[in-house]
């Protein structure tokens, strides 16, 4: 009988699971940056011009596993024409959000 992902994770070392989740979160963040840029029909070059940097800098920002500063993320989003909001989920399940 095949095990579910939840069953596999349940029996895995906590450190391994935490590291995998951290890596996945970083990869997803960067994938979403590229998706955001594509959704507003901009190229890496367009974002680079708006930020006053070279295109390879934008490529580097979008690489999987790249750990961006919040200030860099804010500039990237604003260069795409958006506004960055932060939503924090607290341990009690409530949310605290604000514009960055």
pTM: predicted TM-score of the whole model, two decimal places:
0.69
Q: Which stretches of 40-88 are DSSP H helices?
A: 44-51, 55-61, 70-79
Strand ranges in the chain using DSSP code E only, listed in sequence order: 85-89, 95-99
Q: How far is 26 from 66, CA to CA, in rounded Å?
A: 7
27-41: pLDDT as tens digits: 777 778 888 999 999
Query: For 40-80, how does the pLDDT look when each residue is reduced to its tens digit (9 = 90+)?
Result: 999 999 999 999 999 999 999 988 777 788 999 999 999 99
Instruction: Work out how many domains the chain is built from and give that number.
Output: 1
| Radius of gyration of the chain, Cα coordinates, nearest whole angstrom | 17
Task: Report whether 40 contacts 78 (CB < 8 A).
Answer: no
Cα 46 to Cα 43, 59, 80, 92, distances in angstroms? 5, 12, 9, 41
Question: Which residue range is the domain that position 72 belongs to?
Answer: 5-99
Here the CATH number for the domain that contains residue 15 is 1.10.260.40
């Amino acid at each position: 009988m095949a095990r579910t992902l939840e069953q596999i994770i349940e029996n895995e070392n906590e450190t391994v699971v935490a590291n995998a989740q951290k890596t996945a979160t970083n990869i997803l963040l960067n994938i979403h940056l590229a998706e955001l840029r594509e959704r507003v029909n901009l190229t890496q070059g367009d974002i680079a011009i708006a930020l006053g940097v070279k295109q390879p800098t934008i490529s580097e920002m979008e690489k999987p596993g790249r750990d961006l500063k919040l200030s860099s993320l804010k500039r990237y989003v604003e260069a795409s024409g958006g506004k960055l909001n932060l939503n924090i989920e607290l341990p009690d399940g409530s949310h605290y959000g604000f514009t960055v």
